[in-house]
């Protein structure tokens, strides 16, 4: 029994050392992934704010295009060619491309022509496209934050498992009966192995 008790003490010390080291490492990884989560959420929020700003800008630009086109159409309808040219020269470059493409469809005589240049595929708003791209990037960044949060939680769970190995290994040393000592040691070893397996399945930061 003395031989068993001595070897149990050695095994217990080894298990406790490994469990303590891995608990610290798991906690460290959990903190790193938690930091990634916070950074990702912050970045996603900033991207969404900028996307909203660009979308508002796109709406303002489209409103300006509509106003200029309405003025041009009115001048053209009243035969005020000089005034119509004046408005046309002040079209935004993005709208000018769509306007010229629309005129090429002969809208006054072609019943199949789009009603306005805004229905043309040539009409583009760079600010709107940038807003859409930023929103997509914000969603991807937020998803990464959720992933980082899950990994952090999994590392915390592994830390709890390893902490239980420390608990059973430590309390086992308080028992004078070798059978109880060995039983607690076995539980500690199982918990330690379980914690190691859980950690091996997780990505490192």
**Which pLDDT belongs to residue 123?**
95
**Which pLDDT belongs to residue 175?**
61
Can you give the pTM of this predicted structure? Answer: 0.77
Number of C-beta neighbours around residue 62 at 10 A: 18
**Which pLDDT belongs to residue 2?**
46
Please state the domain count of the chain.
1
DSSP for the chain, please give it: -HHHHHHHHHHHHHHHHHHHHHHHHHHHHHHHHHHHHHHHHHHHHHHHHHHHHHHHHHHHHHHHHHHHHHHHHHHHHTT-HHHHHHHHHTS-HHHHHHHHHHHTT-TTT-TTS-SSGGGSTT---HHHHHHHHHHHHHHHHHHHHHHHHHHHHHHHHHHHHHHHHHHHHHHHTT--SHHHHHHHHHHHHHHHHHHHHHHHTS---
**Which pLDDT belongs to residue 90?**
95
| Residue 170 resides in a domain | yes
Give me the domain span that covers residue 127: 2-200
Number of C-beta neighbours around residue 65 at 10 A: 22
**Which pLDDT belongs to residue 107?**
92
| Residue 36 resides in a domain | yes
| Residue 65 resides in a domain | yes
pLDDT in tens, 144-172: 999 999 999 999 999 999 998 888 777 76
| Residue 113 resides in a domain | yes
**Which pLDDT belongs to residue 1?**
46
| Residue 130 resides in a domain | yes
| Residue 182 resides in a domain | yes
**Which pLDDT belongs to residue 12?**
74
| Residue 205 resides in a domain | no
| Residue 33 resides in a domain | yes
Structure tokens at 88: 């046309």
pLDDT in tens, 52-70: 999 999 999 999 999 999 9
Q: What is the pLDDT along the chain (205 residues), one digit of tens a residue?
A: 444 455 666 777 788 888 889 999 999 999 999 999 999 999 999 999 999 999 999 999 999 999 999 999 999 999 999 999 999 999 999 999 999 999 999 998 999 999 999 999 999 999 999 999 999 999 999 999 999 999 999 999 999 999 988 887 777 666 666 667 677 778 888 898 999 999 999 999 8
């Amino acid at each position: 029994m003395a031989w068993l008790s001595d070897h149990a003490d050695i095994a217990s010390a080894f298990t406790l050392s490994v469990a303590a080291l891995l608990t610290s490492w798991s906690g460290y990884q959990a903190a790193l992934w938690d930091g990634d989560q916070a950074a990702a959420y912050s970045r996603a929020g900033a991207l969404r704010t900028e996307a909203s700003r660009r979308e508002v800008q796109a709406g303002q630009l489209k409103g300006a295009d509509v106003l200029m086109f309405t003025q041009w159409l009115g001048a053209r309808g009243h035969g005020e060619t000089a005034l119509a040219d004046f408005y046309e020269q002040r079209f935004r470059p993005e709208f000018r491309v769509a306007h010229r493409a629309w005129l090429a469809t002969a809208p006054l005589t072609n019943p199949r022509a789009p009603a306005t240049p805004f229905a043309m595929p040539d009409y583009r708003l760079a600010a709107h496209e940038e807003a859409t791209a930023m929103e997509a990037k914000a969603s991807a960044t937020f998803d990464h934050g959720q992933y980082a949060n899950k990994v952090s939680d999994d590392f915390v769970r592994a830390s709890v498992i390893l902490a239980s190995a420390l608990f059973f290994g430590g309390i086992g040393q308080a028992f004078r009966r070798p059978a109880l000592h060995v039983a607690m040691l076995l539980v500690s070893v199982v918990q330690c192995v379980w914690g190691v397996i859980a950690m091996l399945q997780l990505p490192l930061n």
